[in-house]
Amino acid sequence: MIQVKLEKNQLECFEGLNHLWIHISRPAVSEIVNFRLRLILPKGVGAQKNLNHFPEDEDHAVTVPEIIKDIDLIFELFTEEELLPGRLFLTIAFSYLLNDRLYDGKKQIPLMIVPEEMSDQIAPDSEVVSLVEKIKRDRAREWGQHSFVVFPAVQTVEYELSPLEKKYRIQGSYEAFQ
């Protein structure tokens, strides 16, 4: 039902970037309701909001009221600080209702942190890469359909007031308030 793949099974220890693909399959016989998924990241690894624009809170919890077709979620992961090489685990906690019964579970995904020198040896998963590119293309096309109006900058001109202008401005405002 829930499949998880990383674009790369390794992440550079400094300024690393990776994508996490979560595929949620809809059962053939019934609908899933109140699906909630939460991404739990290890210290030093951060994530952008999901690229699919599903509603998400600051804890990377995505809620889908009703799953009527297969859903793909893509998260962009990055290193927030320099990490020591080693093995970390990403955790995906989920819960949902199926036929009025509550199901919940967790999946852990291993992620190797490697030195930058090894970054050119990391082979990306072509399926995840193509899905990320498709989502980014769709988003760019969506932005292209919107038009933006750019107003010219307003310029202020400063000049000296003549003695007559000063007199009437001061006198006029004085008379207006009496």
Look up the pTM and report it.
0.73
Which percentage of the chain shows pLDDT scores above 70?
84
d(CA 168, CA 112) in angstroms, rounded, equals 77
pLDDT in tens, 8-52: 989 998 888 999 999 998 877 777 889 999 999 999 999 999 998
> Which domains, and CATH codes, for the chain?
2-144 (2.60.40.1670)
Q: Residue 75's pLDDT band (boundaries 50, 70, 90)?
A: very high
Residue 16 exposed, middle or buried by CB count within 10 Å (0-12, 13-18, 19+): buried
Q: Return all residues near 161 (Cβ < 8 A) that are at least 6 apart.
A: 169
pLDDT in tens, 49-59: 999 888 899 88
